[in-house]
A = this chain, B = another copy of it.
Amino acid sequence: MGTEALAELLETNDIAGMQRWLAEHPPHEIADELGRTDPVTAILLFRLLDKNEALTVFEELDPPDQQKILSGQRDQAFYELVEAMDPDDRARLLGEAPAKFARRVLAGLSREQQKMTAALLGYPQGSVGRHMSPETVPVREESTVEQALERIRLKGADAETIYTLPVVDDHRQFVGTVTLRSLVLAAPHQRVMDLVNANVPRVQATDDAEDAARLMQEANLLGLPVVDSEGRLVGLLTVDDAIELIETADTEDIARQSAASPWSGHYMSAGVGQLARSRVIWLLLLIVAATLTVNVLQVFEATLAQVTSLALFIPLLVGTGGNAGAQAATAAVRALAVGEVRAGDVLRVAWRECRVGLLLGAMLAAVGLVIGTILVDFPVAAVVSISIVIVCGWAAVVGSTMPLLAKRLGIDPAVVSAPLVTTLVDATGLLIYFLVAHVILNL
């Protein structure tokens, strides 16, 4: 309901109404509307927010939308917004922004924030360092619970989280973490060293951010300590950033599974050109790969001229093989992404998927035999059925092993998209089809 009303308020330029609408909606819904709308309207709406609300809404926006909003702010508001951002959010914004914009942001920051942001930007794109919070509240292992809580009270306001606290020893070396929960539930005179979780997983700042996020999920952590190559603490990855990393990774994997490149930003605010760019490369590669199907059919053109009814089943056969291959590829890519399958499992996976494919092929062949016999005749139907069994088994093996082989070669398994598998299976499927036809029909 809210949305329909807002569109109308924008249409009639009803400022008082817009202010009412903004007051009635929570920050994340306002942020969603700003992401959906054009830049001028977004900036107008944003200016109507009161200062505190504006900051909260701003933090909920995706980096491209933050850039869109910032570009419309006058200097003072611009600098206030970027100064108030968490360092990791700021690094994410700058990582995607044009150089001129990034320089303007960095120039306006306080010395301290400038230093922190520059440090984060020093880590490679996609690494944990780009997403961690450098502002933590380390507590000393020899302090008492009471002293630790006192320190948290003094220093905690600036930290992104105080629920996971890094513990350091006398020499400021990282020894583990303690949770605020255990501090609050413990007796005040207990020592932090008796509560510390020394076996907590930790990652290096240069490690892959998605892997770190999935580790947090598996180990049920709200904060994951990040260390440098010498084991010194440099920050914490917080759970809200981990969720966002996982969501972004899933969105990218899903886009790749359909042979599109991921793009950052809101679907509704992406332009026609942007959407086309994210899809065109793979479509071009695939149409070139599909030339193979033309070659195979040319080889068998005489057979086709002799038994024209074979042509009738080409889309059904390649479609079915493609579907079976796409299912196997999608399952393998996902299992790799969530860590259920490793690259070393390739033979086990191939053998299982081969049996799955043949079993599915047998069931589909039965249907194919009926369809073929009714629509054409039994011999052609038999060719179609036998081909379906072989093609499904082959498609399942190709689809499931290609992502694992890609991973072994250090390529993102998600580039083994369903359309890629389908296109490869198309050409080989036709080859199988005509070879079976030659044997069965004695051509």
Contact = CB atoms under 8 A, between A and B. Distances in A.
Interface of A: 3, 26-28, 31-32, 35-36, 60, 149, 152-153, 156-157, 161-163, 180-181, 184-185, 199, 201, 215, 217-220, 222, 239-240, 242-244, 246-247, 250-251, 253-255, 257-260, 266-268, 272-273, 275-276, 279-280, 282-284, 286-288, 290-291, 293-295, 297-298, 301, 304-305, 308-309, 311-316, 318-320, 322-324, 326-327, 329-331, 333-335, 338-342, 344-345, 348, 352-353, 355-356, 359-360, 363-364, 367-368, 371, 375, 418-419, 422-423, 426-427, 430
A27 B219 contact: yes
A356 B275 contact: yes
B185 A184 contact: no
A35 to B, nearest CB: 7
B315 A315 contact: yes
A369 to B, nearest CB: 11
Given A246-B243, A342-B3, A359 B272 contact: yes
Nearest to A267: B335
Contact of A323 (B242, B334, B335, B419): B419
A154 to B, nearest CB: 9
A205 to B, nearest CB: 20
Contacts of A324: 279, 283
24 contacts: A28-B220, A31-B218, A32-B339, A35-B340, A60-B218, A152-B185, A161-B181, A163-B180, A222-B239, A246-B246, A254-B330, A254-B333, A255-B334, A258-B330, A259-B326, A267-B334, A288-B371, A290-B315, A290-B316, A291-B375, A294-B371, A308-B308, A319-B426, A323-B422
